[in-house]
């Protein structure tokens, strides 16, 4: 994992990129901010909790339109496993997965926006701006596959699995227009919504263990990482016509 200055920013990179406001998140200057509840975000250690509130007080906007790349990942076959496996091992598998995924997303300047048990949703290009955000998301997806495969394999050796299928991760990536804001009255975290988010989620649901499905829109933005991949057509729930995606296998 990178440990450059860039990966441990002193000021919030989200507030800086979106508003050009320097909010200290490390070092002595960060202390007075902490007294006001402004601290590092759990979504990415280089952004702050003002970003989590989607700049509500600063921007006075309920939501923002942005072009972003959305990544969904989950552990394939987890539901079946969870019915038969020791809960201690299960929770270990989930925490290893979530931890490895977060490291991979953060290394490429994305945020882990939602964690849903054995799955997660990450956003690239908000609030930290990334010139090549599709590249960043696909690179994070490759890192997720690499680091989860080895970690899950070592956990697998300790359990009697109910089936012969190896534990694996499926990933979906799509680039498009999203609405970012707070859409709940009882939670103050921001999220992204819109058809681009749904498409990324649906692609992920079609990815087999070890696969990364990248929509043609995202693939067009990340041509180098797509070299030599095959294109497949998918029928996705709620989408009338077949959707084309490039299939990347873990190496
Ligand atoms: Zn911030």
Superfamily for the 64-249 domain: Nucleotide cyclase, GGDEF domain (3.30.70.1230)
Largest CA distance in the chain: 55
Count Cβ atoms below 10 Å from residue 225 Cβ, excluding itself: 21
pLDDT digit string (tens) for 106-115?
999 999 999 9
Q: If you average pLDDT over every residue of the chain, what do you get?
A: 88
Could you tell me which residue, 9 or 131, shows the higher pLDDT? 131
What pLDDT is stored for residue 182 in this prediction? 81
Compute the distance from residue 9 Cα to the ligand 1 centre, in Å: 11
Query: pLDDT tens for residues 42-58?
Result: 999 999 998 888 776 65
Distance 194 CA to ligand 1 centre (A): 23
Distance CA 67, CA 79 (A): 33
pLDDT tens for residues 116-141?
989 999 999 999 999 999 999 999 99
What Å distances lie between residue 28 and 32, 42, 54, 219, CA to CA?
Answer: 8, 20, 25, 43
pLDDT in tens, 227-247: 889 999 999 988 889 999 999
Query: What are 191's strand-pairing partners?
Result: 181
Ligand 1 centroid distance, CA of 2 (Å): 21
Considering 177-186, 189-198, 210-219, the range whose residues carry the highest mean pLDDT is 210-219
Q: Residue 3's pLDDT band (boundaries 50, 70, 90)?
A: very low
How remote is the CA of residue 50 from the centroid of ligand 1, in Å?
A: 5
Residue 49 Cα to ligand 1 midpoint, Å, equals 6
Determine the average pLDDT of the residues in 208-220: 95
CA of 16 to the centre of ligand 1 (A): 7
Residue closest to 136 by CA, chosen among 123, 148, 151: 123
User: Band of the pLDDT at 8, cuts 50, 70, 90?
Assistant: confident
What's the pLDDT score for residue 2? 43
- Whether pLDDT at 86 is above 90: no
**Cα 21 to ligand 1 centroid, rounded to whole Å:** 8
| pTM recorded for the entire structure | 0.91
Domain boundaries, the chain: 5-60, 64-249
Does residue 6 have a pLDDT over 60? Answer: no
Long-range contacts, 192-198 (Cβ 8 Å, 24+): 192/66, 192/68, 192/70, 192/113, 192/123, 192/126, 196/68, 196/70, 197/70, 197/121, 198/238
Query: Cα(70) to centroid of ligand 1, in Å?
Result: 20
Task: Give the Å distance between the CA of 82 and the centre of ligand 1.
Answer: 37
User: Count of CB atoms within 10 A of residue 22's CB?
Assistant: 12
């Amino acid at each position: 994992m990178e440990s450059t200055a860039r990966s441990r920013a002193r000021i919030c990179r989200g507030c800086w990129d979106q508003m050009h406001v320097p909010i200290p998140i490390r070092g002595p200057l960060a202390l007075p901010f902490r007294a006001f509840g402004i601290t590092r975000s759990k979504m990415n250690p280089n952004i702050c909790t003002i970003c989590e509130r989607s700049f509500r007080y600063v921007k006075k906007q309920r939501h923002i339109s942005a072009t972003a790349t959305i990544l969904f990942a989950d552990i394939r076959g987890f539901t079946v496993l969870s019915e038969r496996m020791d809960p201690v091992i299960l929770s270990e598998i989930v925490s290893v997965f979530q931890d490895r995924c977060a490291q991979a997303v953060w290394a490429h300047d994305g945020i882990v926006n939602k964690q849903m048990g054995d799955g997660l949703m990450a956003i690239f290009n908000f609030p930290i701006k990334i010139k090549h955000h599709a590249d960043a998301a696909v690179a994070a997806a490759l890192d997720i596959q690499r680091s989860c495969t080895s970690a899950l394999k070592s956990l697998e050796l300790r359990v009697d699995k109910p089936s012969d299928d190896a534990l694996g991760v499926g990933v979906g990536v799509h680039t498009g227009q999203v609405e970012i804001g707070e859409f709940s009255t009882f939670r103050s975290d921001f999220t992204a919504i819109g058809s681009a988010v749904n498409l990324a989620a649906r692609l992920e649901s079609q990815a087999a263990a070890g696969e990364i499905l990248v929509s043609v829109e995202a693939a067009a933005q990340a041509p180098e990482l797509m070299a030599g991949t095959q294109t497949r057509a998918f029928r996705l729930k709620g989408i009338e016509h077949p959707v084309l995606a490039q299939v990347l296998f873990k190496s």
